[in-house]
Structure 1
Amino acid sequence: MRAQDIETLVSVGRPALSSDGSFVVYATSRPDVAADRSVGQLWRVDLPDGSPRRITRGIADRSPRLSPDDATIAFLRADGRGRAQIFVAPAAGGEPVQVTDQPGGVTDLSWSPDGSRLAFTARMVEPGRYGTVEGRDAAAEPPRRITGIRWRANGHGYLDRPAHLFVVEAPAADAEPFYEPAPDLLTPEKQVVPSVPHQLTEGATSWSGVAWTADGRELLSVPDVIEDRTRDLRSRVVAVSVEGAGSREVLGTSANLSIDEVAVAPDGAIFLRGNYVGPSGVDFVAPGTALWLLEAAGPRALTDPETIDLGEVGSHLSFVGDDVLVQDRTRGRVRLLRVSRGREMREVIGGDLEVSGHAAVDGRVVASVALPTSFGELVLHEGGTTRTVTEHGRAAGERGIVVPEEREIAGRDGYPVHGWVAVPDGEGPFPVILQIHGGPYASYGVHLFDETQVLVDAGYAVVYSNPRGSAGYGRAHGRSIRQAMGTLDYFDVIDFFDGVVGSDPRLDAERVGIQGGSYGGYMTAWIIAHDHRFAGAIVERGFLDPVAFPGASDIGSFFGQEYVGTDPERIAAQSPMAVVDRVRTSTLVLHSELDYRCPLEQATRYYAALRHNGVDAEMLVFPGEDHELTRAGRPRHRVQRFEAVVDWWARHLPVA
């Protein structure tokens, strides 16, 4: 796979299954280099044997939701100014009708139980900001007064656009379209949509989630209040009346839970997906994300947070009968589990795949998955068997894919370290790149990974693992590096690398490089200060200076304190900046201008120190990008980044 081949990486979103299981609707997305953006539409498959067919023709249609009668799809599409709005279309396909015209864009949507209304969250924009006044750009806006401990979020910007709850009447998908008035008649009273939404919440508090109660009278949502002094990850769940009758608290902070999702079962039971953060409100290291049933006495855990991990990005709940389907992250896979209210559990879909979305009706389950040879497919599970019903990964396969080989190595203390090696075709020996993931509570998986494939195509073997601190191996594995970063994780990364390279004659132990992003950038910087064997290093979007992190990062109010502690000596013992003077390895520092997770200052301080110390170093900064450049950045920037990476290795670790 070459850099340009990221265009073949088609992801499949969360599917929407009809109430009788006869058809499924889903969205795809892929990078388009010419358009320099991600593009995608909605697709429909008639089950069990139909072929996928595209049913919308928008640029980036996403988040389909089927109405209760299966006749209409509501989904998100960007309007002419790039703001996400709700559209509805016939489930069989057809021209969509625009439902909302929110200045700040819609962030989530949900059908009412009777299908007559749509609830949604939308960001509220202060007049005069964010293009609300023609001709006034961001540089001309008035200053922002900040009084809380949070003010920015990666990928979002300033937190002065709270998301609020709305309800709107659902238009008929086959109704005559609305015709916008001519410019000389356009007044503030005129609308470009057929119905005016009713706003349910207001103020500085932002709301997340739009789960209808079974009777359709209330919305369950999680309010987010910016703290004045100390961070508090504990969540409240509030029921907001859609008829203006006020609100009531369903779950308070005394439960000490951080809630990722609220979902209502067909019988009205309320389920939560979240993790226990303790009375301090910030015990988030290796969060034990579990399934909870909200009962009169409080939430009851239905899964064991020490061994079952429901925290994979994009995870969600769906229902089949009285049971709940959940995604369990384990050993580089994400399997689909069915959990009963009595805590019985069985695997529905497993194997060498990663489930990213799902829906079920009776004995029929559909899921979006990533595979070793495909970035995204839709699978159907029925009658005890699972089969793939799409071929979105065909183009990527035609570009050439190497399936990595799984390994497990005993570390220096006997601890098993799990990971993979990807090797080009041929006998070798090939130069080897040690690749390290972010997080740290994240993991490498079995899905098709462009970072690895591009390097293999360029002639490099790639070794990567999930050391202690990673997700998917039990909570104790993840918590083992709390306030001890650069210890057990460092040993595991190096021991796995040495074990794989030393046992495989295809790999050249004398020609090695190292690279990683985010926590992987931290670990790369840490390793090259202690191990000088590498011909070169790439430190990308790294957590490099724990001292500067709290006042700059969007998670600085709690992340560093929990992972490296607050004692200056202990922080220094875990800080790459504290040992930067030991680095001798040629280093490329990669970063993005709008990275608020690991801010640009982390990179510039580290780069400046390298240059001051006489280290061969370069820095590449991407404008307009944030912490998600490698996953969701502009396609041309992603290609340019790959070209820079391959060029760096060609200069410092040339292929024979």
Structure 2
Amino acid sequence: MNHWRVALAALALGTSWTAIAAPANAPDPRFSGGDLFNLAAASDPQISPDGRSIAYVRRSNDIMTDRARSSIWLIDTTTGDQRPLVAGSGNHMSPRWSPDGKRLAYYSTSEGGAPQLFVRWMDTGQCARITGLPDSPNGIAWSPDGRRIAYLMTVPDEGAKLGSAPPKPEGAEWAKPLEIIDKVTYRTDDGGYVKPGFDHIFVVDALGGAPRQLTFGAYHDGNPAWTPDGRAILFSAVRKPDWEMIANDSEVYRLDVDSGTVSTLTDRRGPDNAPKVSPDGRLIAYVGFDDHKKGFEQGDLYVMNADGGGSRRVAPALDRSIDQFEWASDGHSIVASYEEAGSVVVSRIGLDGRVSRIASDVAGGGLDRPYAGGGFSLARNGTVAFTTDSVSRPPDVAVATGGKVRQLTRLNDLALSGKSLGTLRTLAVTAPDGSPVPSWILLPPGYQDGQRVPTILEIHGGPYAAYGQHFSTDYQLYAAAGYAVLYTNPRGSTGYGQAFADGIEKTYPDSNTADLLAAVDAAVGSGIADPENVFVTGGSGGGILTAWLIGKTDRFRAAASQKPVINWTSMSLTSDGIQFFGPYWMGALPWENYQSYWARSPLSLMANVKTPTLVVVGAEDYRTPVSEAEQLYSALKLRGVPTMLVKVPNASHGGIAGRPSQSAAKAAAIIAWFDKYRTRREPQTAERAGQ
């Protein structure tokens, strides 16, 4: 009788009996949501000073806890052999080598509670917990002699006071006390509501003991960087009376370790960040720009004398935004990374301005979508360790030395070798004004030339960011469901120079309309996209553009607007960056130019919308707050447009795909929404469609 119960249950769920009862004869080659739990990704590769070993963080998903777990692994750069170095319970991250390469500092939650600082002796494998702190340390920096470690930590503050409740009787159960907020930024997307306190620099003996606080005051200080003589620490911060309202005006400071004296080394209107001292101590390199209150300005590389004088820009012709850099051991050049054409490049930049490329395929911007990203580290002998990926594989570890690049890990070959994944093609797209629009299209597994397939235009966020030829779980899930995925880097994307980014300055989102629709036209014209089955989605900036496009055209069968902005006035006053969005993106505050705010808000186009639209948002999104998605949902309901609202529980803006089950479920919801409005018919060739 049991088999009849199973059959009836299958019918009740709308599932075929064959799918339930028939045992699998072979592994399923389709990429599915369950495969997200089998993936691993490399990040934060740290090469030892002698270049012989790389410690890196391996992140893998735990199906029982539905969370990513991080461990630290060690790779021999000569043989490629690797082994777990710090694993077991908890999460282990941020490995940093001592200057002599004999010890490794890292953070770990192995003992429960907040992450603590540990040191491992590489010859014996012994470990010692160095800190026992109530909050998490950040920004590990070894002193040059290896005796001390500097770090950044939040120092609690009492916070604002305003009156008090009456005395509480002993044993009484009262409501929680009032929350008194007086800070400009009182919640952040990555941390939620901010506890009162300020980030300050501490130093602790590398053998353990009581830490010493080095910086003080009602300011948030940046990560520490030692001078070669160990007498001073450099950091960047906004240490000005009106610091809370300043978006882009940090300076570089010098902290005398013995006396605690802080002196200012830079002074201009604009941010100066990430200072690092040359090996001989004569020069300081840093990243910054002159602030013109644009939506985006590239971070340029500067050097100045150790006393702050003689500042000059290095390689001004590069026209790229510097993400990360390290001094070469000879002190005559700097190794830096920057975005370029959808990927990240690592190059050697001479102090004379000459630029020579070391590696072009640095990657690691996340798994759900194909963002440019990744990190690197530099050994004394010039060997560079970095993360790299491909359309079919998440990030691995590679090294570049002597003009050659070798990939050292292949973390997902076993998990993905039996899967039929989507394949990528570059798509030639030209905007109406003749400008090229970098674009790609991911084809569903088994695609045959000439076949027309339903196609999703997926738009990146930012908007000052970039997609590239990288692995994406969302895209592979869409492809497995039979969709091609069209994605672009329209004007405003990074990695193509300041002028390209300026293409949306004070005109976004409408200035992207022509670029995106030109990509759709090109996908149809290529014979790939079925013109009757084109869909649109995107998150954050892509969610804004999705909401904007459905107010401009009816050509999409359905849409899914993820974590959008629908009303620039409400967003600029409720986001976690109110100092920035109004003055820099909109060019004025809402009451100063409300017409511009309204004209650039997708809400202004709602009377035109007919496209069935799914709305998706993290329930704890403080960047494009939940109220923005709710406004879009309500507007669509009032208009009578088919819609549903999907909230991802406990998810922030940046963490909406952080839990594997939620990432898979979100993609499944979007696919189901598109499937609902997809025209079902026999696969067409371009000839049958009259192309």
TM-score by length of 2: 0.84
Contact kept? 2:53, 2:74, Cα under 8 Å = yes
- Partners of 1:431 and 1:206 lie apart in 2 by 50
Indicate whether 1:144 and 2:174 are aligned: no
Distance 2:680 2:158 in 1: 56
Partner of 1:645: 670
The 8 Å contact of residues 394 and 412 in structure 2, kept in 1 or not, is answered as yes
Aligned pair partner of 1:201 in 215, 229, 245: 215
Q: Secondary structure at the match of 1:338?
A: strand
Shift of 1:433: 0.6
Matched, 1:423 2:433: no
Supply the AA of the counterpart residue of 1:409. Answer: V
**Cα distance in structure 1, aligned partners of 2:124 and 2:464:** 41
Q: Partner residue of 1:98?
A: 129
Cα gap change, 1:245/1:122 in structure 2, threshold over 3 Å: closer, same or farther? closer
Distance 2:134 2:362 in 1: 43
Q: Give, in whole Å, the separation in 2 of the partners of 1:243 and 1:449.
A: 49
Structure 2 Cα separation of the partners of residues 554 and 580 of structure 1: 26
RMSD over equivalenced CA pairs, Å: 2.5
Identify the range of structure 1 (462-471 vs 80-89) with the bigger mean alpha-carbon deviation.
80-89
- Return the offset for 1:92: 5.1
Describe the shift of the 1:271–1:154 C-alpha distance in structure 2 as closer, same or farther (beyond 3 A).
Answer: farther
2-side partners of 1:216 and 1:297: how far apart?
21
- Provide the aligned length of Structure 1 versus Structure 2: 618
* Structure 2 counterpart of 1:571: 597
Q: Matched residues in 1 for 2:157 and 2:383: separation? A: 46
1 CA distance for matches of 2:668 and 2:42?
A: 27
The answer to whether the Cα contact below 8 Å between 1:358 and 1:368 also exists between their aligned partners in 2 is no
Map Cα deviations across residues 103-143 of structure 1 (whole Å, 9 max, x no partner): 121122110000001101112234799xxxxx999983552
Equivalent residue in structure 1 for 2:641, among 615, 622, 625: 615
Q: 1:270 to 1:285 in 2, by over 3 A?
A: farther
Task: Please give the residue correspondences for 1:276-291 in structure 2 after superposition, counting only pairs within 5 Å.
Answer: 276-278=289-291, 283-291=293-301
Structure 1 455/419 Cα, relative in aligned 2: closer, same or farther at 3 Å?
A: same
Moved more, 261-270 or 58-67: 261-270
Gaps of at least 5 residues in structure 1 are 130-134, 172-193
Does the residue aligned with 1:286 lie in a helix, a strand or coil?
coil
CA distance 1:623–1:321, shift in 2 (3 Å): same
1:242-257 to structure 2, matched below 5 A, reads: 242-252=257-267, 254=268, 256-257=269-270
Is 1:267 aligned with 2:280? yes
Shift of 1:25: 1.4
Residues 398 and 324 (structure 1), Cα distance of their counterparts in 2 relative to 1, 3 Å cut: farther
3-state SS of 2:223 partner = strand
- Name the SS for the 2:344 alignment partner: strand
> Match for residue 110 of structure 1?
141
Conserved 8 A contact 1:483-1:563: yes
Q: What is the TM-score when the length of structure 1 is the normalising length?
A: 0.89
Give the Cα–Cα distance (whole angstroms) in 1 for the partners of residues 274 and 515 of structure 2.
33
1:597, 1:152 → 2: CA distance? 9
**How far apart are residue 56 of structure 1 and its match?**
1.1
Change in Cα spacing, 1:636 to 1:309, as seen in structure 2 (3 Å) is: same
* Residue in 1 that maps onto 2:378: 359
Quote the residue 2:87 is aligned against: 57
- Aligned residue for 2:645, secondary structure, equals strand
In structure 1, the partner of 2:624 is 598
1:43-54 superposed matches below 5 A:
43-54=73-84
Change (3 A) 1:587 1:7: same
Aligned to 1:466: 489
Instruction: Find 1:406's aligned residue among 426, 430, 455.
Output: 426
1:475 corresponds, among 493, 498, 505, to: 498
Residue-by-residue CA offset, 1:412-449 (whole Å, 9 max, x unaligned): 11111111001112333211111100011101111111
Cα contact 1:259–1:272 (8 A) shared by 2: no
Instruction: Find the aligned partners of 1:289 and 1:138 in 2 and give their Cα distance.
Output: 51
Partner of 2:400: 381
Q: Distance in 2 between matches of 1:604 and 1:93?
A: 57
Residues 136/377 of structure 1: CA separation in 2 closer, same or farther (3 Å cut): farther
The answer on whether the counterparts of 1:378 and 1:390 sit within 8 Å (CA) in structure 2 is yes
Query: Does 1:162 pair with 2:162?
Result: no
Match of 2:256 among 241, 260, 280: 241
Name which of structure 1's ranges 561-570 and 546-555 shifts more when overlaid on structure 2. Answer: 561-570
- What is the CA distance between 1:81 and its match in structure 2? 4.3
Q: Secondary structure at the match of 1:472?
A: coil
Does the CA-based 8 Å contact 1:103-1:125 persist in structure 2?
A: no
Counterparts of 1:489 and 1:138 in 2: how far apart (Å)? Answer: 53
Number of the residue aligned with 1:27? 57
1:325 aligns with 2:335: yes
User: How far apart are the structure 1 equivalents of 2:362 and 2:224?
Assistant: 33
- 1-structure distance, mates of 2:304, 2:636: 53
Give matches, 1:395-544, under 5 Å.
395-424=415-444, 425-427=446-448, 428-504=451-527, 506-544=528-566
Q: 1:621 is matched by which residue type in structure 2?
A: K
* Matches of 1:308 and 1:301, distance apart in 2: 13
Closer/same/farther in 2, CA of residues 43 and 518 from structure 1, 3 Å limit: same
What code does the residue aligned with 2:106 have?
Answer: F
Q: Quick one: which amino acid aligns to residue 331 of structure 1? A: A
C-alpha deviations, 1:150-207, integer Å up to 9, x for none? 2222112234232211100012xxxxxxxxxxxxxxxxxxxxxx51111112333111
Among candidates 211, 233, 238, match of residue 219 of structure 1: 233
Residues in 2 aligned to 1:92 and 1:390: alpha-carbon distance in whole angstroms: 24
Larger radius of gyration: 2
Quick one: distance in 2 between partners of 1:274 and 1:42? 29
Deviation at 1:342, TM superposition (A): 1.2
Percent identity reads 27
In the alignment, is the contact (CA less than 8 A) between 1:15 and 1:359 conserved in 2? Answer: no
107-116 or 368-377, which moves further after superposition? 368-377
Q: Cα offset for 1:477? A: 0.7
Q: Offset of 1:316 from its aligned partner?
A: 4.3
Amino acid corresponding to residue 198 of structure 1 in structure 2: R
CA distance in 2, matches of 1:42, 1:556: 37
Q: Is the 8 A contact 1:164 1:206 kept in 2?
A: yes
Shift of 1:80: 4.3
Conserved 8 A contact 1:406-1:420: yes
Q: Aligned equivalents of 1:115 and 1:139: distance in 2?
A: 50
- Tell which deviates more after alignment, 259-268 or 534-543: 259-268
Which stretch shows the higher mean deviation, 477-486 or 519-528? 477-486
Q: Which amino acid aligns with 1:143?
A: E
Query: What is the CA distance between 1:349 and its match in structure 2?
Result: 0.9
* Aligned residue type for 2:86: T
Question: What is the Cα deviation at residue 298 of structure 1?
Answer: 4.2
Please, which runs of 5 or more residues in structure 2 have no aligned partner? 1-30, 161-170, 364-372, 682-691
Comparing 36-45 and 109-118, the one that deviates more: 36-45
Give me the whole-angstrom Cα distance separating, in 2, the residues matched to 1:127 and 1:399: 55
Partner-residue secondary structure (3-state), 1:570? helix
Deviation at 1:277?
4.1
Structure 1 residues 38 and 382: alpha-carbon distance in aligned structure 2, compared to 1, 3 A threshold: same
- Once the 2 structures are TM-superposed, how far is the Cα of residue 352 of structure 1 from its aligned partner? 8.1
SS of residue in 1 equivalent to 2:197: coil
What is the CA-CA distance between 1:461 and the residue it aligns to?
0.5
8 Å CA contact 2:337, 2:346 repeated in 1 = yes
Closer, same or farther in 2 for the Cα pair 1:509/1:339, shift >3 Å? Answer: same
